[in-house]
Amino acid sequence: MRPLADGQRLSRRAGGVAASLIKPNDRLTSFERLEIYNRQYWWRVLDCFYEDFPGLRAVLGERRFRRLAVDYLERHPSTSFTLRNLGQKLVAFLETGRWPRLALDMARLEWAHIEAFDNAAKEPMTPDQLLDSNPARLCLRLQPHITFLALQYPLDDYLIRLRAHERFRGEASNAAEDSTGARRFRPPPLPARQAIRVAVHRHRNVVHYKRVSAGEFQVLTAIGSGQSLAAALRGVEDHGATVQRWFHDWAALGWFWFKPRATA
């Protein structure tokens, strides 16, 4: 799990350790046998890291992203049975360094995308169930796959376009004939600073980014933190048709599940 040395080789400092643990054979020394595993480990985790964070790679550029990937994976090597969790500490890692806010926002959005893609989904509450429920016993919960983000850059549209470009490049590279469209295409320019609030969620097995207003963000994050419905609505100016429409739309998207409150 040590980083590869120059030339994608195992560091020679590991030679003595290799000889004490691994037998040579008629073709490879102990060092060379260990080097195979060292290379394959790093090539595999770096490949997964590149696939999980194409937006961050676009923000930082290839060289800087590569340095970040190695530094992060050296500090936080894979400890899970699944490489899905490889980037789970990346946002915290970036927050401790001098990384631009654009990079931090992108990492937060891409990790939320991973969470939305494969986190659990509870049986959703329908709009009719929401209207028919007794408010005194209503205990709303948000789906485990939903994340709400306050971003300083409008990266939702950018990431959608970038992922579409990545898919197009992959299809073009596997085509029987070269595509001139693939050569002409350039990734979209990075967006200018503009604060947005976005919900990252899964609907019908597809990940979506949905922008929400400041009021919606306030209510939803309060519900997500475990507050009661009354507490979540405290401070919201319009308790009428606007809030009713919010809850209808959220329930239609399957964002809520609920357990009745216990009664004495």
User: pLDDT tens digit string along 37-64?
Assistant: 888 899 999 999 999 999 999 999 999 9
- Token pair recorded at residue 31: 């060092």
Strand partners, 207: 202
pLDDT above 90 covers a percentage of the chain that reads 58
Angstrom distance (rounded) from CA 257 to CA 140: 6
Domain that includes residue 252, residue range: 127-154+191-258
> Does 37 share its domain with 54?
yes
Whether the predicted pLDDT of 183 surpasses 70: no
- Per DSSP, 185 falls in state -
Angstrom distance (rounded) from CA 18 to CA 85: 29
pLDDT above 70 covers a percentage of the chain that reads 85
Residue 22 resides in a domain: yes
Residue 172 resides in a domain: no
Instruction: Identify the three-state secondary structure at position 251.
Output: helix
Torsion (CA) 38, 40, 46, 47 in degrees, nearest 10:
180
Residue 6 resides in a domain: no
Domain of residue 230, CATH code: 3.90.930
- pLDDT at residue number 26: 93
Angstrom distance (rounded) from CA 112 to CA 53: 11
Whether the predicted pLDDT of 245 surpasses 50: yes
Amino acid (one-letter) located at 132: D
Residue 178 resides in a domain: no
Whether the predicted pLDDT of 6 surpasses 70: yes
> Does 47 share its domain with 136?
no
> Does 50 share its domain with 136?
no
- pLDDT at residue number 136: 58
- Token pair recorded at residue 45: 């985790």
> Does 88 share its domain with 211?
no
The set of long-range contacts for 55-58, using a CB threshold of 8 Å and a minimum separation of 24, is 55/106, 55/109, 55/110, 55/155, 55/158, 55/159, 55/162, 56/103, 56/106, 56/107, 56/110, 58/162, 58/187, 58/190
State which of 92, 118, 144 marks the end of a domain. Answer: 118
> Does 21 share its domain with 104?
yes
> Does 111 share its domain with 44?
yes
pTM score, whole prediction: 0.85
- pLDDT at residue number 193: 96
Instruction: Identify the three-state secondary structure at position 144.
Output: coil
Amino acid (one-letter) located at 166: E
State which of 94, 118, 142 marks the end of a domain. Answer: 118
Number of domains forming the structure of the chain = 2
Which pLDDT band, with edges at 50, 70 and 90, does 186 fall under?
low
- Token pair recorded at residue 96: 């401790």
Residue 33 resides in a domain: yes
> Does 220 share its domain with 252?
yes
Residue 177 resides in a domain: no
> Does 46 share its domain with 141?
no
Amino acid (one-letter) located at 170: G
CB atoms closer than 10 angstroms to residue 149: 20
Residue 181 resides in a domain: no
Please choose, from the candidates 112, 107, 144, the residue with its C-alpha nearest in 3D space to the C-alpha of residue 209: 112
Task: Give the pairing of strands 147-151 and 206-211.
Answer: unpaired
State which of 70, 97, 118 marks the end of a domain. Answer: 118
> Does 19 share its domain with 111?
yes
> Does 134 share its domain with 252?
yes
> Does 36 share its domain with 91?
yes
Contact 51, 162 (CB under 8 A): no
User: What is the per-residue pLDDT across 75-121, written as a single tens digit (0 to 9) for each?
Assistant: 999 999 999 999 999 999 999 998 999 999 999 999 999 999 999 99
- pLDDT at residue number 11: 74
> Does 76 share its domain with 132?
no
- pLDDT at residue number 174: 46
Angstrom distance (rounded) from CA 68 to CA 242: 44
- pLDDT at residue number 134: 62
Residue 264 resides in a domain: no
